[in-house]
Each structure stands twice: as C-alpha cells, then as structure tokens.
Structure 1
Amino acid sequence: MDLAYFWYEAGHMLLAPARAASDATRLAFKNPVNPLTYTAYGRAMAAGCELFERFTRRYGKPAFGLDETIVDGRAVPVVEQVVWERPFCRLVHFDRLRRADAPAEPKVLMVAPMSGHYATLLRGTVETLLPNHEVYITDWTDAREVPLVEGSFDLDDYIDYVVGMLHMLGPDTHVMAVCQPAVPVLAAVALMEAADDPCVPRSMTLMGGPIDTRRSPTAVNLVAQERGVEWFQRNCIVKVPPPNPGFWRDVYPGFFQLSGFMAMNLDRHITAHAEMFNHLVEGDGDSAEKHREFYDEYLAVMDLTAEFYLQTVDTVFVKHSLPKGEMMHRGRRVDLEAITRCAIMAVEGERDDISGVGQTKAALELTPNLPAEKKLYHLQERVGHYGVFNGTRFRNEIAPKIAAFMRANERETAFRAPRTRLRSVAG
C-alpha cells in the first residue's frame, strides 16, 4: 500500500494534459461567437467536458467566504482571525465588527470533524450561529502539509489541543462537537472536570457523534469492528510522496476516505452528476451551480496522521473504551462520572447512517453525576448525518434549540479549588 499515494499523484499528473484539453474544448463550445454554442450538440459537448474536468480535478481547501452577517436587522462585516495555532490546527475566530458597547453574546468553540473533510464543511453551521454568537472553529491542517520535523499527532494530542483552546478562550465558553470530535471533546471535558479546571466550558453540544458505537451500529461501525485495527494498519496507511511538505509521513489519505463515502451512496452520486449534465444542457444554471457548490466542498479532502486515525479506530470503534470506562489519556483514566458542571446537549438525526440513533445520547447516560436539568436530548426527524448540522431543518429546528440551551447555561458554574495541576490535563 505504500505506493498507492505515489500512483495517485502520478495519475493526476498524467491526466493534466487531457484535463487542460477538455477545459479548452468546453470554453470553445461556450464561446458566444461559435455557432455550435447554441445547439444541443454544443451544449452537450460543453457539459461533458465540464464533468470530465471536475471528475479528474484535485479539489483544494475551500474558503469559508463568510464576509458578513445580519445582526439586529443590519449587515455587519465579519473578519476571519487566527487566534491560536499549533502545527496541526489553527483556531479561527469569525470576528463580527460590532460596536464596542454591543452586549456580550455566547462564546462558542466549534470543534470541526477531523475525518477527511475540511472545517469548511461546517460553513452552514457557522453561518447559522454567527448572528447571535461569538464563533470560533478548529481549522485542522492537512497532514500532508505538516513536515515530519513537527512530530506526530494522535488522539491524545487532539484532546490536548481541545483543552488548550478552552484555556485560551476562558471559562465562559460553550463547546460544540460535530460528529468525530464528540469523543475527544467529551474526554477533554471529563479530564478538566476531574482536575477542577477553572476553564471547564459552560455547556457541551454533541452532534451526531460516536460516543457508544455499540448502539444502533451502522455499516461504518460494523466494518471497523469486524476488521480490527490491524487490517486498517495494513490496508489504509500510506506514506506521503514528494514534493508535499509532509513527505514520508504515514497518513490515512483523504482520497481513501472519500472513496468510502462515495461507495456508501454511489447510486445517489451517479444520479446527481447525470442530473447536472442535464441541467447544463438545458441551461438551468441555478441547479448546476448548487451541484458545483456541494461537490466543490464534498470532494475536497485532507489526509489524517496514521497514529490519530488508528488510535481513533481502536479506541472508539473496536474497543469502545470511552463508554466502558477504559479510555486512557497519557496514563490517566477518562472518568465521565467526574462531569458535574458542564451541561450536555445531545443531538441526533433519525436517518443518520454514520452515527446511529442512541450513540450520541449515550453521553447523557454515562454522566450520572451531572444534574438532570443540565442535560438535553434532541432527535431530529427526517434528517441524515449531514442534516444534523446543516440544511433547512438544522437552521429552523435544531439551531434554535442549541442557542436556547447555551443561553440557559450562560451563568457561571460553581468552581472548586483545583486538586491537580492543569499541566497534567493539557500535557
């Protein structure tokens, strides 16, 4: 498998001339001075060439593109600022340029999934919360862009990063974990609570996360359980080829993950591209543009470090360490019973085929010492995995409940004198 990445890169290089020729042909059949442009043949040729170029393109990291938001009925400029940075992650603040006397609003640390796609997958989530919240998001770095000299990055490091960001943002923070980060975020909060950390967040919202994958196991869960971590080590880990900055780093490549995602719903993707071809031929520009926007994001993938990927598979999907009370972080057991202050909201989708119903809700049952009034569960009907954090039902039904939950837990939580040095939590 070590040569898989090299062949992948070589394939892109070999297809470059054909991709350039296809794009030139598309432009020729879109040129208004070409009489064939106005014929069915010309439109079909242009559509086919665009699809070929898109099929063979390497999609780069998309931009958030959130330049403004609406606050109290007026447009307010938004500026992206990097406020915290480590080799494998940047923390981005969407700074709303508001009046100095504007009232303070809930501060939200949005932990994006590190599972193949970039943090921009949560663009709609950020956009929805932005008018009434101070939003920060984890912008994880593509592992192939990180030189070997920067060292490794595993699940323990991920937890340390979350703790470090919460320390930087302070105790008046609400943390939101979408999908994959539900486990490390819950673990980070448990470790902070056990250490009587003054920066324990006021609330934690877990959305479609694999807290206990033994409940309603999906196809993704079953594959990991049946094959075990050794299979993934042999078949999914490759080395980054030159000339990437992370040359020779062991990674789980994004194109492997994308292949798995596509295979799960292959018929749906084929249908979507066939429909786009028809939209282009028919001149339905709006529908074609929606397709481009979705797949520009969906097909943009990043590599994960091998150590993070394998530790996650083993801890979350094979051993179920967190719900069993056996998860360890740098020699310390992650004790969910230590959570007594940070309110928890669990959000699930009725049709989620990645994190089954009940997997996220498990967090509420695994924290018996957290008062019942600090727990909230929401099962959203008629949505799949992505509908939990994006789309119409998220905006109209889920987001208002999350906002109300955060505001209900804005008041400061009682704090006990620390028994353990904070350094032992953050490493």
Structure 2
Amino acid sequence: MPIGEFGNAPPLAGQGSPALTTPMYWMYEMAHASLNPARAVTDATKILFQNPLNPWSHTEFGKSVAAACELFERTTRRYGKPEWGIHDTEVNGIRTAVEIRTVWEKPFCRLLYFDRKLTRPLRHPQPRVLIVAPMSGHYATLLRGTVEAFLPTHEVYITDWADARMVPLAAGRFDLDDYVDYIIEMLHELGGNMHVIAVCQPSVPVVAAVSIMEARRDPFVPISMTLMGGPIDTRRNPTAVNKVAEERGIEWFRRNVITKVPFPNPGVMRDVYPGFLQLNGFISMNLDRHMDAHKQLFAHLVKGDGDLVDKHRDFYDEYLAVMDLTAEYYLQTVETVFVRHALPKGEMTHRGIPVDPTRIMRVALMTVEGENDDISGLGQTEATHGLCKSIPAHRRVHYVQKGVGHYGVFNGSRFKSEIVPRISDFMMSSANPKSLLALAAE
C-alpha cells in the first residue's frame, strides 16, 4: 500500500469553530469512553465466533461476524505507542543482539542508542549516526525500517519524542527554539564524531542547529548532515499541504486546532495540537484508499488469509498510533516553515539570534528527495544547497530517488538498496581525519 502522509506535520485538520476549540479534546475523550461497553460486547462476540467448538465459527456467516467485530474494534481503538521490535541485526555476517538504551533524556525527548552486542571487535570503526525523527504526530517507531537499514554498518542513535499529553504542565513549554536546543545538547552529549540524518520535518531545525553551532565555532558540530524529504523551502513545487497553510494563515490554526489536554492525562490543561485531529488530516487526504484497505481486511479475515491480515495490522498499528504536539511548537513550526518561509528568506531566528546557514563550513551536506513526493515537493530539500553556500562543492551531494513517494525516501526496498548505500558512502567520504577540536581551534 503506497503511503504519502508520513513525515512532515501536515497543517491539515478537520473544520472547527472557535467556540468549540476548548472542549474539543474533552468531547473526544467522552465519545471514546462511551464506546467501551460496545467494544466489550464486540470482543466477546468475536471470541464466541472464533471458538472452534462453536459450529458457526466454521461457516462464512460466523467468519463474517468475527471479521466485522475485529473491524469495529480496530476502528474504535486508541492505539498506543508501538514497540521497536528490534532485537538483533547482522554485523559482518554475524547475527548480533541489540539492546535499546536511553543515553540522554529531557521532558519532551529521549535519546535512544541501539547498542549492538558485538562478539568480535570491528576492524575499522563504523560511522556514528544521530537520526532525528520527525515530531509530526507519529512516534519515532515510524522509522523502524530506517534504523534497521543502518544498524548493520553504523552505530545508531535516534530521537524519541514524547507525547505532549503525557508531559505535566510543571515540565514547562516546548517550542521550535527548544527543539533546536535539544539537538545541540544531544550532539554535545554524544561528544563529536557524529553524522546527523534529519528525516522530513526536522530538516529545518537541524539546519538551524548546525548553523548556530558553526557560528559559535562549536567543536561538537557534526561531520555531515543528511536531509531527507525536508520542507526547507516550501515555495518550490508547493504541495496541497503547503498551500493550505499559506492560504489559511497562522491565526486560523490557533483558533481552530489548538485545545487543552483533558483529565486524567498527565499533561492535563496543556495546550496541544491533538493527535486525533492530526490523524483526521492524514486520513482525509486519502480517504478512499483507507476505506478500500479496510474492505480488503474484512475479505481477508473471512478467507483466513493470515499473511495479508498481519500486513494490514502491522501497517495500521503504526499508522493509527499518534501523539499530541505542544501548541507553541506546532504553531511556531507552521508559521516559520509553511507561512513565512523564514529559513530560505534569511529571516529565521533562534532566541532572537539570526540563523545563518552561510556560516556552515565544516559540515558536509547531502540532500535526498523522492521523485513522487506529494508532501515535500521536488526541490524543497535541494534548496538547502543554495543556503549553505560556504560548504565546498565537493562536500555537497544531492540525490533524487526515482519511483518513490514521501515514505519511500526513508523506508522500503529502494531505500535499503539504493539510498542507504549512497548515504553511507557520503558519510565515509566526508569524514575528516583531523579532530573537530583541532579544527575549532584553527
């Protein structure tokens, strides 16, 4: 099933009224709770019609009832954060166990390290990679395939952003400036000798963070940064997502899609852009396709086609698991990236200080785009090269992957076979034998 909605936070949402904005989340919670009795009855019915001792379970009628019960359960369920499910990988032809550890943590993010338990020492050190996952409604587990593709040949770290409704008000606010600060702090924590990969939405804050570090002559600046399907300049080949934001303006979003987290969530009374509203935007973009997918699920359940049923479950378990974004982060991102186009215009600031990509000189740059990307149009990520003019031409690479959409830029068979090897080669060639500390002193 082709996918186009993952990655950047689409500034789309259901129509709303300012008068209904405040209780919107509370009404959603009440509606969800009101379905619990029906869900309990449906679960019991499903178990009854799947019991092999029940003669009806072997008939098409019985299978249809069980299939309908599963569809009801799945479409009314609240999907929790998915598990990573990465327990091992293959390094130099040897199956190696993987332990996922938290190595840095703040209220709105954890930095995870995929620790490969190597039984033999490596002949040559492998590149250390920080993958900055999108904070755009889906969890970092969306990049499970991305992590799995890099693990055999890289030391992998990834940002694991928190669901805003789970963060108490006492933890403070989180906006785009904080996002940039988090990236810088993580690079400091990792101690240099790092490569950064920004997948989709983080491209703008990663460029901002690296620009600030270069302006400060920070010794922990990354060796390279790779930007994949990112909205650096959304004026180029604007997509439907880009046009909606520009046409409606930031005040429309402030009035219509921001609400407060209800009790009993830990983040009660925090202003957020709720995940369920984000999901409504995702699904409405391709409603017919999602409806067809669920019709096919019903048919596969009746036929007993386990492989196709499992494939559907795996996809939608990830797709329907969404998290809330803090209002200040969401609104600032929409305004800065999609409405004002602040970075390409040279107007972006970080805590009042101008963000100047021309200060980037020590960091190699690679941009990756998908030929059929309907979220970040062709040229939006490539625009970074025009902003980072001080990076020597031989340390800049742009690559367009044929035949893939937005999701295919960071996941799937072509990503593994064609994009990952190119990124890996780029990282190896961009590594500088001199230490970053020595370069900073020059």
TM norm structure 1: 0.96
**Alpha-carbon distance in structure 1 between the residues aligned to 2:368 and 2:41:** 47
1:184 counterpart (197, 205, 226) = 205
Contact 1:347 1:360 in 2 (8 A): yes
Deviations along 1:281-334, one digit per CA (max 9) or x if unpaired, are 111100010000000000000000000000001100000000011100011100
Q: Which amino acid aligns with 2:177?
A: D
Q: Which amino acid aligns with 1:15?
A: L
1:70 maps onto 2:61 in alignment? no
1:411 is displaced (CA, Å) by 2.5
Q: Aligned residue for 1:22? A: 42
- CA positional deviation for 1:418: 6.4
What letter matches 2:55 in structure 1? P
1:401 aligns with 2:417: no
Map Cα deviations across residues 237-271 of structure 1 (whole Å, 9 max, x no partner): 00000000000000000111111010111111111
Counterpart pick for 2:310 among 289, 295, 306: 289
Match of 1:130 in 2: 151
**Aligned 1:306-345 pairs, distance under 5 A:** 306-345=327-366
Aligned-partner Cα distance in 2 for 1:68–1:186: 32
Alignment partners' CA distance in 2, 1:163 and 1:105: 22
Mapped partners of 1:21, 1:9: distance in 2: 20
Q: Distance in 2 between matches of 1:416 and 1:387?
A: 36
CA–CA distance in structure 1, aligned partners of residues 320 and 376 of structure 2: 21
Shift of the 136–336 alpha-carbon distance from structure 1 to 2, 3 Å rule, reads: same
2:276 alignment partner in structure 1: 255
Cα separation, 1, equivalents of 2:433 and 2:60: 65
Among 351, 354, 377, which residue is 2:398 paired with?
A: 377
Matched position secondary structure for 2:332: helix
Matched-pair contact (CA < 8 Å) for 1:3–1:238: yes
CA distance in 2 between partners of 1:393 and 1:417 (Å): 38
- Partner SS for 1:231: helix
The 2-side partners of 1:281 and 1:126 are apart by 35
Q: Which residue of the partner structure matches residue 34 of structure 1?
A: 54
Question: Quick check: 1:139 aligned with 2:160?
Answer: yes
Q: 1:418 to 1:5 in 2, by over 3 A?
A: farther
Other structure's SS at 1:340 match: coil
Tell me: CA distance 1:18–1:412, structure 2 relative to 1, closer, same or farther (3 Å).
Answer: farther
TM-superposition CA deviations, 1:100-142 (whole Å, max 9, x none): 7324211000000000000000000001101111000000000
1-structure distance, mates of 2:291, 2:157? 36
Query: Secondary structure, in 3 states, of the residue corresponding to 2:97?
Result: strand
The unaligned stretches of length 5 or more in structure 2 are 1-20
Quick one: percent identity of the two aligned structures? 62
Tell me the CA shift for residue 412 of structure 1: 4.1
Letter in 2 for 1:70: E
Q: Identify the residue that residue 357 of structure 1 maps to in structure 2.
A: 378
| Aligned AA (1:11) | A
Describe the superposition over 1:322-371 as per-residue Cα deviations: whole angstroms up to 9, x where unpaired: 00111000111000100111111111111111111100001112111100
Q: Residues of 1 paired with 2:417 and 2:383: CA distance?
A: 25
Q: 1:55 aligns with which of 55, 63, 75?
A: 75
1:26 Cα offset (Å) = 1.0
User: 1:172 touches 1:412 (CA, 8 Å); kept in 2?
Assistant: no
Does residue 160 (structure 1) correspond to residue 199 (structure 2)? The answer is no
Equivalent of 1:346 in 364, 367, 374: 367
SS of corresponding position for 1:132: coil
CA–CA separation in structure 1 for the residues paired with 2:439 and 2:129: 23
Aligned to 2:30, the other structure's residue is in SS state helix
Q: How far is 1:38 from its partner?
A: 1.1
| 1:119 partnered with 2:134 | no
What is the CA-CA distance between 1:417 and the residue it aligns to? 4.3
Q: 1:73 to 1:417 in 2, by over 3 A?
A: closer
- Partner AA of 2:234 in structure 1: T
- Aligned position for 1:214: 235
Shift of 1:416: 4.5
Cα distance between partner residues in 1 of 2:192 and 2:395? 17
| Cα distance between partner residues in 1 of 2:87 and 2:44 | 33
- Measured in 1, the distance between the counterparts of 2:40 and 2:264 equals 22
Deviates most, 125-134 or 96-105: 96-105
Aligned to 2:226: 205
Gaps of 5+ in 1: 420-427
Q: Which amino acid aligns with 1:306?
A: A
Whether 1:236 and 2:257 are equivalent positions in the alignment is yes
Once residues 349 and 268 of structure 1 are traced to their aligned partners in structure 2, the CA distance between those partners, rounded to angstroms, is: 21
Contact 1:202 1:412 (8 Å CA) reproduced: no
1:36 Cα deviation after fit = 1.1
- Counterpart-to-counterpart distance in 1, 2:422 and 2:51: 50
What does residue 11 of structure 2 align with? none
Say which of 7, 28, 31 aligns to 2:27: 7
Q: What letter corresponds to residue 219 of structure 2 in structure 1?
A: P
Q: Residues of 2 paired with 1:109 and 1:129: CA distance?
A: 11
The SS at the match of 2:77 is coil
